[in-house]
Structures are given as C-alpha cells and as structure tokens.
Structure 1
Amino acid sequence: MTLDNNFSHWMWLKLFCLTIIATLTFEHSQFDIRISEFFYNNGQWLIEKSAQPYAFIFYDGPKALLILSAIYLLTILLVKYKRLAKRPFITNHSNLNKYIVPFSIREISYLLIILIAVPSTIALLKGVTHVSCPNHLTLFGGDLPYLNLWQSMLAKTDAKCFPAAHASAGFSLYGLVFIPALYKYRYRIFETVTVLGWSMGLYKMMFGDHFFSHTLVSMLLSLTIVCALASVFFKRKTNVK
C-alpha cells in the first residue's frame, strides 16, 4: 500500500484558515463564557488548581510521559544513526531491537521536531496575545476586564492564556497520524489523541485556566503544524508495509 502525500500537501493551509476562523468566531464569545460558567458556581471553580489526583492524572502524568517519549525517541534516533555508521558494538546487540520502534530515521526526526515545534509555537503565541484566563476576569471573581484578542494585544498585560499550551502537548501527538508506518491506524490514532488533548484541556478549564476557544484553537493549530511538517518530511509516496 502507498501513502500519497497529497492528503497533507495542501491540507495544512485549509487547517490554518480554519484556525483563524475559529479564533475570530469563538475567542471573546458568549459561547466561551457559557461553557466556563458551567465550571464556575457560587464563586468557586469545579476543582481547585493542583488538586489531587486530578493534577497527576491530567497534568503531571501526561507531561512526564511526553518528556520521556521525547527522550526515548532521541535515544533511538542516536542508536539508528550509529547503526547506520556500522559501529559493531551497536549492530551486534540484537537484544536491543525489541526496545526500538520500527520507525525510520526520517519518521523519528519528524516526531521529535513535532514534539518540540507544537508546544514552542503555542508558547510563543501566548507571549504575544496577552489574553487573560477566565479566573483572571471580573466575570469569574478576578480583577481584569474581559477584552478581545486585539484589545489584549494592545493592553500587553502579563496574562498568557491563549492558545492553551498544556493541551497542545497532547495534541502534538497528532504527528503519529502522518507517520507512514502507522498509516493504517491513522483514524484510531486521531481519535485517541483528540481524547487525550481535550482531557488535558478540560482539566485546565475546570479551574478557570482556559476558555473553550483556547483549547479549540490549540487543537487546530497543532493539526496545522503537524500537517505542514508532514508535507515537508513525506513529500514522496512512501511504501507502508
């Protein structure tokens, strides 16, 4: 079976346009406020920030796993490069094979770049947009006014809440969808990563760290980035065994 890169060649541009539309439509909307009101009752959020076991399940745990995954991929990449250089002390250790994912050097390099590029891009945007979190706003017991994106950028407050960075770490795993070796599992991977990313995003929404639009835009922007990089890394048709 062959993997035709046409599916991602221009899809990233469509996703980018969809990201802009979602930003203009949902950011600073009554829809955002209504969803946050669902988590905010009688002057209190549904859960407290850092409350356990929620913090471990939806924040510390996933964050640690993603960091370990990046370290693992980097280690495997170095091993594969050494094998490519035909170093005996690597090639003779066949027991090492069972710990190595059956991905090519290109596929592993793509995943590593995605795991770095997606959260870094979101973090950069957070520093530029200056959008407040719900729990910062007077609407939800805070002391800041509810400003739209443009007003927030002009005000240059210390707030850095848009898009959602924590959820983007989970959404960065969308990169697995575009790995040729996993192409036949792409729909299942897409569904799993979506559930993971939104679980991480909803956790932050439950104590007012993000609006719904923050997570939605983070998801769409993550998809845009992984799709754009996939069109670069996997330009040619690749055989999938």
Structure 2
Amino acid sequence: MALENNSSDWMWLKLLCLTIITALIFEHSQFDIHISELFYTNGQWLIQKGAQPYAFIFYDAPKALLILLALYLITVLIIKYRQPSNNVSIIKNRSINQFMVPFSVREISYLLIILIVVPSTVALLKSVTHVSCPNHLTLFGGDLPYLNIWQNITAKTDSKCFPAAHASAGFSLYGLAFLPSLHKYRYRIFTVVTVLGWTMGLYKMSFGDHFFSHTLVSMLLSLTTTCTFASFLFKKATIYEGRNIESNTLIS
C-alpha cells in the first residue's frame, strides 16, 4: 500500500516530464507537417475558419457548455456553503438538492480550480512561446518561416498558437476522472474526455490553427495539471481510505 501511495504521489511529476519531452520532440518535426498536409490540399484547408455549422458544433457549443458547467458548479458550491447541516433544513431543501451534483465541497472546488487553471496555464504559455499556426507559415500559404520553440520565443512574433487552447478546455474535464466519488468510472471518463478534447483539437487543425503536437501537448499538460491538484487535494482522503482497507484486512 505504501508503494502504491508513493507511485501515485509522483505521477504528476512523471506526466510533467513526459509533457516537456513531447513538446521538445514533436513541436518542430516532419511528423507535424505531414499530418497538417492531410488537411491542406491544392492550397486550401479542409474547411474554412468560422464556416458553419462546424464552428457552432465544434467551437461555440462546447465553449458555451463548459462556461455553463463552471457557473453551475459555482452556484452549487455557494448553496452547499450556505446550506445548514441540520436534518430539518435538509428535508426542506430536498427539492433543491435533487438538482445538485452529489459531490463534496472539496470535489466541486477541485473541478472549478481545474476548469480555470488548465485554460489559463495554456493561455499563459501561448503568450510566451509565440509559436506560429500552420496557416501562418510559408509551407501552407502564409508568410512566416517554420521555426522551433526557442527561435519563436526569441523572435517574439505576434503568433500565439502553442499549446492548443480550445482543446485544453475540453481536456480540463479530465478532472472528473480524479474525483474520489467517480473513481470506479475513471477509465470511461478518461476515454470520453480524450475523444472530446481531440474532436475540438482536430476541428482547429482542419483549418490550420494548430499542428498535431499543439493538441498533444495541450492534452498532456491538462492531464498533468489535473493530476497535480488531485494529488494534493485528495491525498489525505486517499491515505485515510488506504488505512481503513489495511485495518479491515488485518481484522478479517
């Protein structure tokens, strides 16, 4: 049990190292170019930026739903904080409680932190890296050269395309997989969120707003962030649960 706890505690560091290595290896590679070429034929991207109904389905709708989710969680958190704990109040507020997620205050707070921190971290990195989008490059009809991360940071162009921000909003839902209440569903959640994030990422790739590596790094960075916060916020609960399991084993 102790070994499992130690391995879990350091998982965030392993993910961080993997994210950095992936960024350095894939961000400036022929692999990225070859994938983008699949979306770019005869001087045209697969779809035009802002073309409907794609923009609504893959950009506007997911963004709006994630904002509504954050507002809903904030509302639930406020209600839970202000709700008295006595039995009479619980009975009176039963009609309200049926519309609230069955998560603890700690879990809801964690989800809110993740929904804010993940996109904010990506946005901060975008402003520092200055990496160009594929549609900005001469390789794909633009007017900028294809540079690596360090060259882009030094050049300080107006480009802000790495990592992928839109996809990171979807990947921020990885936080659900780390909730103790949803532990038994974590693999299903991971699969669904991965599909959602990559769908949002592929939409942006289809008109040259991102390379493959931009979305890949965004996914790993989101996973690193969610794992890091979960390691600290749910550590005590995990240790307590582990001790209970060990105690029950000894008794039996």
TM-score by length of structure 1 reads: 0.94
The total of aligned residue pairs comes to 237
Question: Which residue does 2:37 correspond to in 1?
Answer: 37
Paired residue type of 1:74: I
Structure 1 residues 83 and 39, CA gap change in structure 2 (3 angstroms): same
Partner Cα separation in structure 2 for residue 149 and residue 219 of structure 1: 18
Question: Which residue does 1:65 correspond to in 2?
Answer: 65
5+ residue gaps, structure 2: 243-252
Shift of 1:164: 0.2
5+ residue gaps, structure 1: none
Secondary structure of 1:215's aligned partner:
helix
Question: Which residue does 1:207 correspond to in 2?
Answer: 207
Partner Cα separation in structure 2 for residue 61 and residue 38 of structure 1: 26
Shift of 1:112: 0.2
Structure 1 residues 69 and 109, CA gap change in structure 2 (3 angstroms): same
Checking the alignment, whether the CA contact within 8 Å between 1:8 and 1:227 is kept in structure 2 is no
Report 1 or 2 for greater relative contact order, CA contacts < 8 Å, sequence distance ≥ 6. 1
Q: Deviations over 1:84-140 (max 9, x none)?
A: 476x87862211111010000000000000000000000000000000000000000
Question: Which residue does 1:189 correspond to in 2?
Answer: 189
Partner Cα separation in structure 1 for residue 179 and residue 156 of structure 2: 39
Secondary structure of 1:99's aligned partner:
coil
Question: Which residue does 2:248 correspond to in 1?
Answer: none
Checking the alignment, whether the CA contact within 8 Å between 1:163 and 1:218 is kept in structure 2 is yes
1:227 aligns with 2:200: no
Partner Cα separation in structure 2 for residue 93 and residue 164 of structure 1: 42
The structure with the larger Rg is: 2
Checking the alignment, whether the CA contact within 8 Å between 1:36 and 1:212 is kept in structure 2 is yes
> CA RMSD of the aligned region, Å?
1.8
Secondary structure of 2:214's aligned partner:
helix
Q: Deviations over 1:39-76 (max 9, x none)?
A: 00000000001111111111001000000000000000
1:140 aligns with 2:126: no
1:11 aligns with 2:11: yes
Which structure 2 residues correspond to residues 14-25 of structure 1 after superposition, within 5 A?
Answer: 14-25=14-25
Question: Which residue does 1:167 correspond to in 2?
Answer: 167
Partner Cα separation in structure 1 for residue 232 and residue 68 of structure 2: 26
Checking the alignment, whether the CA contact within 8 Å between 1:8 and 1:228 is kept in structure 2 is no
Partner Cα separation in structure 1 for residue 151 and residue 96 of structure 2: 55
Structure 1 residues 101 and 139, CA gap change in structure 2 (3 angstroms): same
Is the helix fraction higher in 1 or 2?
A: 2
Question: Which residue does 1:98 correspond to in 2?
Answer: 98
Question: Which residue does 2:74 correspond to in 1?
Answer: 74
Checking the alignment, whether the CA contact within 8 Å between 1:167 and 1:200 is kept in structure 2 is yes
Question: Which residue does 1:119 correspond to in 2?
Answer: 119
Partner Cα separation in structure 2 for residue 175 and residue 74 of structure 1: 16
Partner Cα separation in structure 1 for residue 57 and residue 241 of structure 2: 38
Structure 1 residues 95 and 37, CA gap change in structure 2 (3 angstroms): same
Shift of 1:187: 0.2
Shift of 1:24: 1.0
Paired residue type of 1:67: I
Shift of 1:239: 5.2
Identity value in percent: 73
Question: Which residue does 2:51 correspond to in 1?
Answer: 51
Structure 1 residues 176 and 8, CA gap change in structure 2 (3 angstroms): farther
Paired residue type of 1:71: L
Shift of 1:5: 5.6
Checking the alignment, whether the CA contact within 8 Å between 1:168 and 1:197 is kept in structure 2 is yes
